[in-house]
C-alpha cells in the first residue's frame, strides 16, 4: 500500500496566505480595469457590468494558474 504523506502546515498556511493576498490583488485589479474601461468608453451599465464580470473571470483564471505553480514549488505534502 502506498504510504500517505503528512501535511506540512507551514507550507499550507503560506499557500493560503498567498492565495488571499494575490487573489485579492489580481481579481480586484482586473475587476477595476473592467469598471474603468466601461466608464472611459461611457458604456451602458449592463454592458459595463458584463465587461467587469469578464475581467474578473480572467482574474480568477490567472489566480488558478498562479496557485497551480505555487503548489508545484511549495508542495503541501512532504
pLDDT of residue 55: 94
Question: Is 9 in contact with 45 (CB distance < 8 Å)?
Answer: no
Distance CA 39, CA 25 (A): 21
pLDDT at 77 over 90: no
Query: pLDDT tens digits, residue range 34-66?
Result: 999 999 999 999 999 999 999 999 999 999 999
Distance CA 6, CA 12 (A): 11
Q: How confident is the model at residue 78 (pLDDT cuts 50, 70, 90)?
A: confident
Q: Tell which residue, 15, 23, 17, 21, has the closest CA to residue 75.
A: 15
Amino acid at each position: 500500500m502506498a504510504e500517505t504523506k503528512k501535511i506540512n502546515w507551514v507550507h499550507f498556511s503560506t499557500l493560503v496566505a498567498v492565495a488571499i493576498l494575490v487573489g485579492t490583488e489580481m481579481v480586484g485589479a482586473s475587476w477595476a480595469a473592467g469598471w474603468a474601461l466601461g466608464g472611459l468608453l461611457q458604456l451602458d451599465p449592463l454592458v459595463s457590468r458584463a465587461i467587469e464580470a469578464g475581467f474578473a473571470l480572467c482574474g480568477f483564471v490567472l489566480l488558478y494558474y498562479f496557485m497551480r505553480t505555487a503548489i508545484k514549488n511549495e508542495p503541501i505534502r512532504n
